Amino acid sequence: MKILITGGSGFIGSYLAEYLLKSGHYVVILDNLSTGRLANIKNIYRHKNLEVHIDTIFNRDLMDELVKGCDQIYHLAAAVGVRFIVDNPVQTIETNVGGSEVLLKIANKYKKKILIASTSEVYGKSDELPFKEDAMRVYGPTTIRRWSYAESKAIDEFLALAYLHEKKLPVVIARLFNTVGPRQSGQYGMVVPRFVQQALLDHPITVYGDGKQSRCFGYVGDIVEAIVKLMDNEKCIGQIYNIGTSEEITIYDLAKKVKELTNSKSQIKLIPYEEAYEEGFEDMQRRIPDLSKAGRDINYKPKVSLTRILQEIIEYYKK
């Protein structure tokens, strides 16, 4: 098949491109390199079955041409990272909402199957744990910029499902939970690569808030394999799936684990949210996915432990 990946030079997109090429597909990448990097695809850049376009999803003529010629679309292009989102709220909303609108409209024109990469952020501050796909969502006020990302991705989901029900466009939605692995940048607020880089340099490991907030970090290879299975399974059309891991750890314990694995001399330093981001910043205390639906429909079960993930990331940054 010929497969289009928007955001294909990003962290997850680059792994997806590699996976699909190894599976014998022809892959077309579109990326504007706002947060993606050509270095992410250096191992496949000259592959005979890879086509790369450095352009924006808002180039409607190009998008029409690429969508028309493909069999499937993975829509990963989005504003990412809490730091980026807080600093660039206009770009966040316009990219996530406007970009998805452009792509869904063209996908519908040619009736191309599309996977929308959503996020665990859509659950907001809900305390109905673990999060089920049909759970209630709770957000903070519109004056807090970090919620613009969650709201914009929720609108993506609404729009995709509207195209499904009204236009019969085949769509699948994957809500990704804290995906990590080698190649991920800490530049935009991603906590694991930031901790690893700080630890390797013996700089203070900066934990935002009190560090008692917890997350579940899934391996990028597991996540990529899962979303391909979602796309290839006809019964997943029109469905929403949590994809990640349920192995939970507090952010403070994560910092301690990184320090231990790197044999670092770093001190762990708590930084108030207001100092790290913005006045009134809000965070979720826990974020744990219920993976039973993905387990039932695509036999999804994460394979890589957090310790192994951190070891791979540490070796990556050492090099």
Query: Residue 188 contacts by C-beta under 8 Å, 6 or more apart in sequence?
Result: 35, 80, 81, 82, 83, 84
- Tell me the C-alpha distance between 37 and 11, whole Å: 8
Query: Residue 8 contacts by C-beta under 8 Å, 6 or more apart in sequence?
Result: 14, 16, 17, 27, 28, 29, 30, 31, 36, 41, 52, 76
Q: Select from 297, 213, 289, 294 the least CA-distant residue to 245.
A: 289
CB atoms within 10 A of CB 302: 22
| Cis amide bond preceding 130, omega within 30 | yes
CB-CB contact of 78 with 117 (8 Å): yes
- For residue 196 the two structure tokens come to 């690893």
- Our measurement of the distance from residue 245's CA atom to the centroid of its chain's CA atoms, rounded to an integer in Å, reads 13
Kindly give the pairing relationship between strand 179-180 and strand 2-6: unpaired
CB atoms within 10 A of CB 104: 23
State the catalytic residues: 149
Query: Residue 280 contacts by C-beta under 8 Å, 6 or more apart in sequence?
Result: 143, 144, 274
Q: What one-letter code names the amino acid at 73?
A: I
Q: What one-letter code names the amino acid at 85?
A: I
Q: What angle do CA 201, 282, 181 make, to 5 degrees?
A: 40
